[in-house]
Amino acid sequence: MTSAWGEVVTRRTRLKDREAAVRIIEILRGRGFEAYLAGGCVRDELLGEKPKDYDVATSAHPEDIGSMFERTASVGASFGVMLVRDFGATIEVATFRADGPYGDSRRPDHVEFSTADQDAQRRDFTINALFLDPFGEDGEEVIDYVDGLKDLDAMVLRAVGDPEDRLAEDHLRALRGVRFASRYGLTMEEGTRDAIFEHAAELEGVSVERIGDEVKRMMGHGKSRHRAATLMHELELDHAIFGEAVGAHALPVLKRLGARAHAMTGVAAWALDRLGDGVLDEASAYATGWRGALDMSNDESTHFAKVLGFVGRVVREWDTMSVAQRKRVASSAHEGEGRKLLRAYSAKDTKRYIADVEALSGDGIGVAPEAWIGGDELISMGLTPGPSFKRVIDEVYDAQLEGRVSSMEEACNLARELFVNPA
């Protein structure tokens, strides 16, 4: 089945990756093979989105592809997947295939090279099972074996074939379904939604690396992350991810968080909504737990803990902080993202914080002036490096921030005094 969407696609900007993929298709077709753009790039173009990458599906086998192009790499020849780099961009070229059973609920035990129709039938959702022929009789044409165009027109997310079978093959498809539905504003078809809900607990068997990747991609898309988290809650996937049940909630902090906030700031907002204000008091402890559940990197876990800690300090401790402590908070590395989370959490505390920081910025000293004293200065004064260096540097800088020393000379005198008479 074909549909003449060529005019819509042709009007779009031709990206370098797309041109490379079309060139590969042209060469494959010239050798007598069937070849199309496939999967997500077709879906994205039809939805008016910019594809992240372009994939090619073909009747050519890996050995054929390897003999036709000069710069190739096998990333799964037994599954029919090759990379072609002949035209600058790296394009994944995969042979049409039919999958065998999924023994590990992740990948098929074996595959058989097949036809475009059979290849479409093995894919997860109908909107991802479309092919685009750049050289159709009437221009660019979409090839649709699964009524994916109908579902796109209706903005519906539907599993290909039996949703129970699709989920049994790979339980991560539940999260992928949530990501697609939230990202593109799609309604889940009832049978697909029911299957995800009924098998939500089976997500616990999926590796945290794969779960974390999907969740972080959802949290990284600011305009849809609230809907993604809401869907995960409604389908009880969040329980399977975190091993903890929570009651019904509207996720107000995540909903108010700006679209430009970092993905990990989104995860922190989600944690506040799920677990309540106690997260602010034990940010590091919760960072450890959520790091394990979502396979966070060191940087991601630190970001999560720091933005929550920032909000906690402003909300819980601000009134009792010294001027130096306030300035250190206001100039901390994660202040920008922390302020975004604070704004989503408490408008009142945000207003107060901004007013105070503006006053501190205008006190003639500034929030983060260059320090007069560092390690080199202490050594030049004849002081011996040791554990006390950091304490002295910090105390002198606090005095500088608060105006208790107002020159390099005064700072040096205070440093000498602190070495002689430590507090």
Mind listing the pLDDT tens digit for each residue in 351-400?
999 999 999 999 999 999 999 999 999 999 888 888 888 999 999 999 99
Q: Do domains 2-154 and 162-248 have the same CATH topology?
A: no
Confidence band of 297 (pLDDT split at 50, 70, 90): very high
Look up tokens 């989370």; give the residue.
Answer: 341
The three-point CA angle 387-390-393 to 5° equals 140
Confidence band of 266 (pLDDT split at 50, 70, 90): very high
pLDDT tens column, 57-93: 999 999 999 999 999 999 877 789 999 999 999 999 9
Alpha-helix runs per DSSP H in 156-207: 163-169, 173-184, 190-198
215 has a pLDDT exceeding 80: yes
DSSP string of 274-297, one letter each residue = HH-THHHHTHHHHHHHHHHHHT--
Mean pLDDT of 270-289: 93
C-alpha span between 58 and 37 (Å, rounded): 9
Fold of 162-248: Hydrophobic Seed Protein (1.10.110)
Helices (H) and strands (E) in the chain, counts: 23, 12
C-alpha span between 122 and 128 (Å, rounded): 10
**Run of H or E including 187:** strand 187-188
Mean pLDDT of 223-239: 96
4 has a pLDDT exceeding 60: no
344 has a pLDDT exceeding 50: yes
Pairing of strands 187-188, 81-84: unpaired
Q: Find the radius of gyration of the CA atoms of the chain.
A: 28
C-alpha span between 254 and 224 (Å, rounded): 10
**Residue 161 class from Cβ within 10 Å (0-12 exposed, 13-18 middle, 19+ buried)?**
middle
pLDDT for the residue numbered 246: 75
Residue with the bigger pLDDT between 248 and 41: it is 41
Tokens representing residue 129 in the block:
């099972």
Fold of 2-154: Beta Polymerase; domain 2 (3.30.460)
C-alpha span between 57 and 65 (Å, rounded): 11
Partners of 35 in beta bridges? 58
pLDDT for the residue numbered 66: 95
Confidence band of 164 (pLDDT split at 50, 70, 90): very high
pLDDT for the residue numbered 99: 72
pLDDT for the residue numbered 417: 92
Q: Is the dihedral of CA 144, 145, 148, 151 positive or negative?
A: positive
Please report, as a single letter, which amino acid is at residue 53: D
Phi/psi of residue 269, nearest 5 degrees: -65, -40
Q: What's the pTM?
A: 0.90
pLDDT tens column, 30-67: 999 999 999 999 999 999 999 999 999 999 999 999 99
Query: How far out from the chain centre does Cα 104 lie?
Result: 25
Mean pLDDT lowest among 16-20, 108-112, 114-118, 415-419: 108-112
| C-alpha atoms less than 13 angstroms from C-alpha of 23 in its C-beta half-sphere | 17
10 has a pLDDT exceeding 60: no
**Residue 195 class from Cβ within 10 Å (0-12 exposed, 13-18 middle, 19+ buried)?**
buried
pLDDT for the residue numbered 34: 98
pLDDT for the residue numbered 249: 74
Average pLDDT score, the chain: 92
Percentage of residues in the chain having pLDDT higher than 70: 93
12 has a pLDDT exceeding 60: no
pLDDT for the residue numbered 38: 98
Q: How far apart are the first and last CA of the chain?
A: 82
Domain boundaries in the chain? 2-154, 162-248, 276-365, 375-420
C-alpha span between 156 and 296 (Å, rounded): 32
98 neighbors 119 (Cβ within 8 angstroms): yes
C-alpha span between 11 and 18 (Å, rounded): 13
Tokens representing residue 170 in the block:
């790979």
pLDDT for the residue numbered 382: 87
Residue with the bigger pLDDT between 111 and 159: it is 159
- Residue 270, C-beta contacts closer than 8 angstroms, at least 6 positions apart: 219, 225, 229, 251, 253, 254
